[in-house]
Amino acid sequence: MNNKKTFSATKRRHLMACLLALVTATVMITGMTTYLPLQMSEQILLPILLFPIIWVGLFIYAYISEKASQPFLVMITLCLVHGILSYFALMQGQG
Amino acid sequence: MSTVMIVIALASLLAALLLMRSKHYNVAYKWLYCWALIAIALAFFISVYAVLAGIVCTIAAFTVMGILVALSKGKQHT
Amino acid sequence: MKSITLKKLFLLHSWVGVVTAVLLFIVAFTGALAVLARPELKIWANQSLQQTQHIPNSEISTLVNTYHAQVPKEFGENIHVFMPTGHNFHLLALVFESHHGDENYQQEVLRAFEFDPASLALVNTYYGPSKQYYANRKTDAASYIGEFHADLHLGRPIGLILTGFLGLTLLVSTVTGLFIHRKLIKELFTFRWHKGFDVTISDGHKVMGIWGSIFNIVIGFSGAFLGLATVILLPAAAFVSFGGDQDKLIETFTAIPEPIISYVNQPTNITAILSDAQQRYPHAVILDATVMAHNDANAQVYLRLLGGEAVASQLLHYNGQGEYITSMSSFGHIAGVSIKIIEILFPLHFGNFAGLFVKLLWVMLGLACALMPLSGMMMWLAKRTRGSTPTLSADAYARWNRFIIGSCGGLVLACCVLFPVQVLLNYAVAGAEHNAYFGPVFFYAWLVWLVIAAFWQNYKNYFRATLLLCALFLISVLPFNSVLGVNNVINANSTLVAFTDISFLIVGLAFLWGYLKTKPDAIALAEVKAA
């Protein structure tokens, strides 16, 4: 594979694409159910429908971005934001 | 009756595909005729299967016919 | 788009394709066969389904009344009637279910009665846990292939996760493939079969890829959804609102309300209900009926229909007196656009929304989808053996080819073996005992062919042998069925069976034509002559 010149930080990109993208897309489903301004059924079903598109987008982005840090930052930010939103929604639900 | 309509629809799609790959017609008119033939096929499929199923069927049939036409009468240029 | 980005997309497309090639071929090929599994090949495989698929509505009503009187009271909560249409069971099945168990079982338990569709004679009875009944129902060759397509017989959730992820990688391959082929319109009709094998394979890959991109995106998306929905998507979506309990989520959205038992006796008019549904949707098939509070004044009946004018399957709701209330999606009453999209994902994936013609289109598109990873793999291998400093030696190239023929060709062979075996099982083995044979026959046939790859040095002859064996197995179906089958092409008792047997013969002859067209390896011949 001629990836020494084409891709930088190959191992990190593999990790992001194969693991972090899945985690991010999954956490995003959970988080999206908390803020979508739609009725309940849409709040739950729309994120489910968007999962494949989100995952494919993140997977491809992990490889084609110029620097490996860019998709990493994007995915971590998305994970944190949606994770925090889910946490607060859970706390509110339990309280 | 529905079999006849499906055959006519497939024939329209085949004509559209053969026209698409042909070099013998003026470009503007060629695409107009192609779209007209596809619309005829769409109309026939919708009359057999109802609207949504007809649209899906047209796209699927167009895809299959396209592959078959390309593999059997594919252009040989380099 | 920058050339470096295109290069990255090309490498991504290549590597995702190479890593998933064999598995994607396996899933796509078995999927193409699974399209015809229900009801066509199920009817072909089960003699009980071949004569009568429509039972008089009054007979069904009589059977429900007769057997409801024979079962304990708690089993009248939910009565399911599974019609012998080739979509569910191979017999007419009456299932009386108690969701809260009974004196012997603390779990969902049922009493089932199965009848021959033609004579309505009682054939089987069952009493025990519901899960066991549904898990052990009689399977057949095509249904076995269909179940293999869904979860590779690895069980759930692992099998579903694997096939779901293959759907996602198919999406990646299709999207990246569209980006890297800049001359889409030109490549639509470019197919050069006189320029050598490598050029032909490359052009074929591009033709099938560009034309089939819409289909591949739909299949990838719906396949990913179907595989991952119950494993990742629903639990994640239910995490906040339902504490991760997807069963609770499903129950909230799709639960059909339990009727309140009035204890006022009023016969449930099943005959009128079935007749009304058949008149409303004459082109649809009634798959099953669910009767709640049978013979009570508050009885409710739900019919599940497939086909007709609706693309997705639908539920018709009636009250016990036979009055039509409403129709809804098979998921129940859920508002919004998303549920409409989810509803049509199923028929778009299975291709079962508009009869045999659309199914044949889906089969051809599925086979094209299966040939994509295979042709891509061959392009990748060929590229690495070309040039002055190839990265793949001739030996390694031959080993790769033998592996692909053993794994992919072996799968095709294993599928072909199942059909004559089905005919033999129908003759020699009774009922659900068939189930014990499909697994060993399928997997051992595949394994043997894969192991042979380690020893058969000439991959071209190995490929020809695969074609020949597939041809022989498929061609044998018609003569076997003519001798051993009750309904066959000679007595023409069943048009579907005759048509299917002839189709097997035609496909077998196509394999034979492929065998005769591919020339034996000249090197091997020269070696034989020298010896």
Nearest to C304 by CA among C320, C284, C323, C322: C284
Give partners of C (≥3 CB pairs < 8 A).
Answer: A, B
H-helix or E-strand spanning residue C112: strand C109-115
Strand spans (E) along B13-77? none
Please give the pLDDT value at position B75. Answer: 67
What would the mean pLDDT of C53-57 be, rounded to a whole number? 82
Q: Which pair of tokens denotes residue C203?
A: 């052009």
B and A touching (3 or more beta-carbon pairs closer than 8 Å):
no
Task: Give the closest residue to C497 by CA, choosing from C478, C514, C515.
Answer: C478
pLDDT at position C260: 84
Residue C194 has pLDDT above 90, yes or no: no
**C214 and B CB contact within 8 Å:** yes
Task: Tell me the average pLDDT of chain C.
Answer: 89
Q: If you measure CA to CA, which chain C residue comes closest to A7?
A: C8
Average pLDDT, stretch C162-179?
A: 95
Q: How confident is the model at residue C530 (pLDDT cuts 50, 70, 90)?
A: very low
pLDDT at C526 over 50: no
d(CA C308, CA C352): 11
Tokens (6 digits) for C338 = 């998303």
pLDDT in tens, C394-448: 889 999 999 999 999 999 999 999 999 999 999 999 888 889 999 999 999 999 9
Residue C459 domain boundaries: 393-531
- Is A5 part of any domain? no
Q: Tokens 């016990």, residue?
A: C320
Residues of chain C contacting A35 with CB distance shorter than 8 Å: none
Q: Count CB-CB contacts under 10 A for residue B9.
A: 26
Joined tokens for residue C428: 């020699």
Give yes or no for B23 touching C (CB within 8 A).
no
Q: List CB contacts of C298: < 8 A, sequence separation 6 or more.
A: C259, C260, C261, C262, C320
User: What pLDDT band is residue C190 in, cutting at 50, 70 and 90?
Assistant: confident
Which bin fits C387, alpha (ψ -120 to 50), beta or left (φ > 0)?
A: left
* Four-CA torsion C497, C45, C89, C304, nearest 10 degrees: -40
Classify residue A85: in a domain, yes or no: yes
- C272 band by pLDDT with thresholds 50, 70 and 90: very high
DSSP string covering A31-52, please?
Answer: HHHHH--S-HHHHHHHHHHHHH
Element (H, E) at B35: helix B27-49
Q: What is the mean pLDDT of residues C266-278?
A: 94
Residue C496: phi and psi, rounded to 5, are -65, -45
Q: Which of C236, C190, C224, C233 is nearest to C210 (CA)?
A: C190
Q: What single DSSP character describes residue C254?
A: H
Express as a percent the part of chain C with pLDDT over 70. Answer: 96
For C177, phi and psi rounded to 5 degrees? -60, -40
Domain count, chain C: 1
Instruction: Tell whether A3 is covered by a domain.
Output: no
Q: How many domains are contained in chain A? A: 1
- For chain C, what percent of residues have pLDDT higher than 90? 62
Min CA distance, B1 vs chain C (Å)? 14
* CA–CA distance, B78 with C182 (Å, rounded to integer): 16
Of C227, C148, C18, give the one whose Cα is nearest residue C414: C148
pLDDT given for residue B27 in this prediction: 65
The reply to whether C292 falls in a domain is no
Residue C56 counted as domain residue: no
H runs (alpha helix) in chain A: 3-6, 10-15, 21-35, 40-64, 69-94
Domain around A78: 20-94
Task: Name the pLDDT band for B78 (thresholds 50, 70, 90).
Answer: very low
Nearest chain B Cα to C207, which residue? B67
All residues of chain C having their beta carbon less than 8 Å from the beta carbon of residue A44 are 237-238, 241, 249, 253
Structure tokens at B60: 């699927």
In a domain, A78, yes or no: yes
CA angle centred on C212, ends C207 and C217, rounded to 5°:
140
C334-377 pLDDT per residue, tens: 778 888 899 899 999 999 988 899 999 999 999 999 999 999 99
pLDDT on residue C156? 81
pLDDT in tens, B15-73: 999 888 877 666 667 888 899 999 999 999 999 998 989 999 999 999 999 999 999 88
Q: What is the DSSP string of C168-201?
A: HHHHHHHHHHHHH---HHHHTTB--SSS-HHHHH
Residue C277, pLDDT score = 94
Average of per-residue pLDDT across C66-74: 91
As a whole number, mean pLDDT of residues C103-126 equals 91
pLDDT for the residue numbered C83: 93
Q: Confidence class of residue C253 from pLDDT cuts 50, 70 and 90?
A: low
Q: Based on the number of CB atoms within 10 Å of its own CB, is C440 exposed (0-12), middle (13-18) or buried (19 or more)?
A: exposed
**Is the confidence at residue C242, as pLDDT, over 80?**
no
Q: What was the pLDDT predicted at C53?
A: 63
Asked if residue C473 is part of any domain, the answer here is yes
Closest C-alpha to A86, from A20, A15, A24: A24
For residue C363, what pLDDT is reported? 97
State how far the Cα of C278 lies from the Cα of C484, in Å rounded to an integer: 36
Chain-chain contact of C335 with A2 (C-beta, under 8 angstroms): no
Q: What is the pTM of this model?
A: 0.92
pLDDT band at C529; cut points 50, 70, 90:
very low
pLDDT mean over C84-102: 89
Of the listed ranges A3-17, B41-55, C333-347, C469-483, the least confidently predicted one is: A3-17
Sequence-ordered strand ranges (E) for C375-456 = none
**Cα separation values, C300 from C69, C164, C251, C297, C383, Å:** 18, 36, 18, 9, 65
**Which pairs from C340-348 meet CB under 8 Å and 24+ separation?**
C341/A49, C342/A45, C342/A48, C342/A49, C342/C225, C343/C312, C344/B52, C344/C311, C344/C312, C345/C221, C345/C222, C345/C225, C345/C226, C346/C222, C346/C226, C346/C312, C346/C313, C347/C311, C347/C312, C347/C313, C348/B56, C348/C218, C348/C222, C348/C311
- Which chains are adjacent to chain A, needing at least 3 Cβ pairs under 8 Å? C
Length, in residues, of chain A = 95
Q: Is the pLDDT of residue C486 over 60?
A: yes
- The answer to whether residue A7 sits within a structural domain is no
